[in-house]
Chains A and B, each alone.
Chain A
């Protein structure tokens, strides 16, 4: 299963990026460059929609962390929107990533936190 990546520009500096599929080794390799090019820009606020991710391995989490960090260094911010995707929430909690990047179950709240 390929990973699909799509984005929507809500405003000049606010972008939603949606990922779907398996973020395992192959899946992450297939989207990593595009994800970085879409996510990382000066002052950009990004909500990453993970509600359609079916599998999240450590390599996928590393991609989220490195891009969130790069975005923060450029004055931007990343928020992870997970909805009711219980397996992804558990994986993020297991690795403690939810303490480093905001992980939000509500779409409107994800937007609010990203823009705060």
Chain B
């Protein structure tokens, strides 16, 4: 048995407010450490969480205030690979962020425009990302993977 065999689901509910994002980050970091997730993978999934929450809080309309944002985190292990998976669920306006085509990257600073970076980070930092709308809630799921011994 590995020293980190905890595959229990960690759960947290937060209000759709920016002050709650740090509480969610601290919760995710601790849950990841408790389950032996390597630092680089913690950094990646924590960035995905921050970008997802920023997106929800900014763009999900008043509906998102009607019930808490739900977070679920779990680590799966097998002999060949490990995966840390985070699901962010909210009651906001239905929106699949991964349906948006990536914007072309600017070639110069003068061409650079704000916006689109959060989605780019979620796409590039997660090893797997998906969206579904179920029972009146948006569900975004991220996974980061690593090899044993990493």
A52 contacts partner chain B, Cβ-Cβ < 8 Å: no
A26 in contact with B121 given A66-B114, A69-B109 (CB within 8 Å)? no
Q: A66-79 vs B: 1/0 string, CB under 8 Å?
A: 10110011000000
A32 contacts partner chain B, Cβ-Cβ < 8 Å: no
Is chain A's binding surface mostly helix, strand, loop or mixed? helix
| Chain A residue total in the interface (Cβ 8 A) | 26
Q: How far is the CB of A29 from chain B (nearest CB, A)?
A: 8
> CA of A99 to CA of B75 in the docked complex: distance in angstroms?
35
Is chain B's binding surface mostly helix, strand, loop or mixed? helix
Q: B86-127 vs A: 1/0 string, CB under 8 Å?
A: 000000000000000000011111101011011011001100
Q: How far is the CB of B35 from chain A (nearest CB, A)?
A: 19
A24 touching B25 by the CB < 8 A rule? yes
A37 contacts partner chain B, Cβ-Cβ < 8 Å: no
A65 contacts partner chain B, Cβ-Cβ < 8 Å: yes
| Chain B residue total in the interface (Cβ 8 A) | 27
- In the complex, chain A residues whose CB is within 8 Å of the CB of B18: 25-26, 29
- In the complex, chain B residues whose CB is within 8 Å of the CB of A73: 110
18 more contacts with CB within 8 A, not counting A25-B18, A100-B109, are A24-B22, A26-B18, A26-B19, A58-B118, A61-B117, A65-B114, A66-B114, A73-B110, A87-B43, A90-B40, A94-B120, A94-B121, A94-B125, A95-B124, A96-B105, A99-B107, A100-B106, A100-B108
A-B pairs with lowest CB-CB distance, top 4: A58-B117, A58-B118, A100-B109, A62-B114
Q: List 15 A-B contacts (CB under 8 A).
A: A24-B50, A25-B18, A26-B19, A55-B25, A57-B54, A58-B118, A61-B117, A69-B109, A69-B112, A73-B110, A91-B47, A91-B121, A94-B124, A94-B125, A95-B124
